[in-house]
Each structure stands twice: as structure tokens, then as C-alpha cells.
Amino acid sequence: MSNPFAAFAPRRVSPKPNLSTISGIFYSPSTSILPDGSQSAYPRHTGSKKRKASPTDDDSQDNFDRMSASPTASPNLANRNIPAQPTQSRTIKRARTAVTGRPLPLSRLLETLDSNGLKTVLRTLCDRHPQLTAEISAVAPKPTVSSSLNLLHNYENSLRQSFPYGGNPEGDYAYNRVKPALLELLDALSDYTPHFLPPNESSLSNGLEFLDSATSIIHRLPNWENPIHNHHKNVAYEEITKAWILVLKETAKRGGGISLQYDGWDGKLQRHNEQSGGRLEPTLLELRNALGWLSNDNNQSLQQTRTGNTLGFRIETPGAPVPLQIW
């Protein structure tokens, strides 16, 4: 008679064997049952199923957990070039300033000014701060003869364009129309002339060149029927005559009389005097004083040439004088 409680009888279970690998084949942890009902100590081979490593192996518990976890990605991803993720500092955007109105920088503001506007600004600064006048004068480049004459010619062109069309160009109506432009030209002439006089101008040739052109400008000034209106032109002749005398005296002091003669200034002054109606006669007198010793030497040289005494020795020979070569 079979025992009904035989199924509940305790069984002897062999301990779990250690994992081993034979020729790369893992064995299943299941045991084989012997014919007598006992379990074999050797595991049954199952080639189709792999078993996990036991934590009792030589590897540590961390390696066991890592090996037991299923892979999250393909092994080929390790060989791929994965772009690095941007750091937190790169993801932070720079704070932009708010757009608001602001005035122009000084350099841009000066670009918008023309010559008249710039002159107005400088005059205003000098009026408010008089100490800036000397500094601006020292920094600004000095005007040349050509640049100064160009400005005077511009004033002269403005004078000509201010004349009315038709009518008497020498009458009172024409004078009243051109008077502002005429005074601007004369004021500019009176300001530029002292700039080219000694001791401010060290080059006497620059002074003579400027006076020559400035005198020609005065010649071209209009003559009016009313003698009172010609007062400005007469004053201009007086001032330019004083300037000529000053330059001629300084030239004589420096021994530049030879340059005055050989550059033809005596002839130029003679023509200026004729065009002015004799108003530059004092200038010719000063020029004769500067060239006085040269005139005496020239007369003596001419007399010696006629008598044949070209070397300072009197030649007492009959007939025509024999020309001598001067080495």
C-alpha cells in the first residue's frame, strides 16, 4: 500500500555547484534525475540557454551587477563619433542691452559739420573759454600763401556776384548791394596781410609774393561815383603801402637787395604804382633806398665797360679796347 504522505517526505538536495565553462559552453543549473530517484551532482547540458554568473565567482559584486544587466546599446556605438554635448556655460546666452536712443559720438558729430558750422563751434568755444584761443592757434596749421590767396579770391568772387543786374554798376544802389561783400573782402585782406609780414613771417619771399597778389586785388576793387564810397579802397592802398615798406626795409637789412633787383621787383612796383594812380609812390622811394648802393655800382660798372676798364685797371691803348675774359 502506498504511503499517501510520501510526497511530503523531505528530500536531500545537493548544493548548487560552481559555474564552470568547458570549451566556451555554459551548463544549465538544472540537475539530472537518476533512475533510482536521486539527483545527479552533475548538471545537465543545455547548449541553447546561457546562465548568469554567480556572485560567488572571483569577480566582485559590482562586476556581477554590471554583467547581469542587459546592454542598453549596440557595441558598435562605441566606435562611432558622437558629438560632445555642450556644456552648461555655452548654453547660457549673453544678456543683450536694451535698444534706446543715445546721442552721436563727437567724431560722428564733427563729420556732419561743414566748414561754416565748424567755425561757429570753434568761435563759440573761444568766446566761452578765452584760454582756448592760444591753444587752438598753436595746434592749427599755419596758412600758406596759396591757401590765403585762394580764400581772398573767393571773397572777391562773392563781391562780383553780388552786383545787381542792369543799372549803373558805380552808382549808390550798386554800392549798397555789394557793401557787405566788399567789407568782408577788405576785412579778410587786413587780417591776412599782417600774417605774412616780419617778424611773424621769416621768409621775405613769401611776404613779397603775398603783397604782389594782394595789391592786384585792391586794383580790381570797384570805383564809385560818390567819392565817399571810395574811402575803403583808399584806406586799403594806404595799408598795403605800409606793408610794402616794412618788407623792403627788412630785406635791405638782410642784404637782400640783389634779389630785389634781379627778381624784377622794381618793375613790379612801378606797374603797381601806375595802376594805383600814384598811391604807391612811397613804396618806390623805399625801393630806391634799398637799391641805392646797387644802382651806384651798376652805373660805375657801365661806365667802366664803356672805357674798357672791366677789371678795375685803366687800359691806355689806342684804338678799340680789347675785351678781356673774366675767370
In a domain, 188, yes or no: yes
Give 21 or 194, the one with higher predicted confidence: 194
What confidence tier does 167 reach under pLDDT thresholds 50, 70, 90? confident
C-alpha cell, 131 = 584760454
Residue 81 lies in a domain: no
Same domain, 289 and 168: yes
Same domain, 196 and 285: yes
For residue 186, give the CATH number of its domain: 1.20.58.1590
The rounded distance, in Å, linking the Cα atoms of 32 and 155 is: 128
- Tell me the average pLDDT across 154-174: 93
Phi first, then psi, for residue 136 (nearest 5°) are -65, -40
Q: pTM, whole model, 2 decimals?
A: 0.59
Q: How far is CA 120 from the centre of its chain?
A: 22
The answer on pLDDT for 41 being more than 60 is: no
Helix (H) or strand (E) holding 211: helix 204-219
Same domain, 54 and 178: no
Q: Tell me if 248 sits within 8 A of 283, measured CB to CB.
A: yes
Q: Residue 52 sits in which domain range?
A: 14-63
- pLDDT of 228 higher than 90: yes
Instruction: Label residue 74 exposed, middle or buried (CB < 10 Å: 0-12, 13-18, 19+).
Output: exposed
Q: Are residues 155 and 298 in the same domain?
A: yes
> What is the predicted pLDDT for the residue at 232?
96
- Which of 272, 175, 194, 177 has the alpha carbon at shortest distance from 232? 175
Q: What is the mean pLDDT of residues 68-85?
A: 57
Q: What tens digit of pLDDT does each residue of 77-88 get?
A: 555 566 666 555
Residues 51 and 189 in one domain: no
Q: Examine the pLDDT at 271 and tell me if it is beyond 60.
A: yes
Instruction: Examine residue 290 and state whether it is found in any structural domain, yes or no.
Output: yes
199 and 296 belong to one structural domain = yes
Q: How many domains is the chain built from?
A: 2
Residue 125 lies in a domain: no
Find where cell 621769416 sits: 202
Q: How far is CA 90 from CA 83, 85, 94, 227, in A?
A: 15, 10, 10, 88
Does the pLDDT of residue 113 top 60, yes or no? yes
Clarify whether residues 36 and 152 are in a common domain: no
- Scanning the structure block, which residue is given the C-alpha cell 546666452? 93
Q: Are residues 41 and 167 in the same domain?
A: no
Residues forming beta bridges with residue 22, ordered by sequence position: 25
Distance CA 180, CA 185 (A): 9
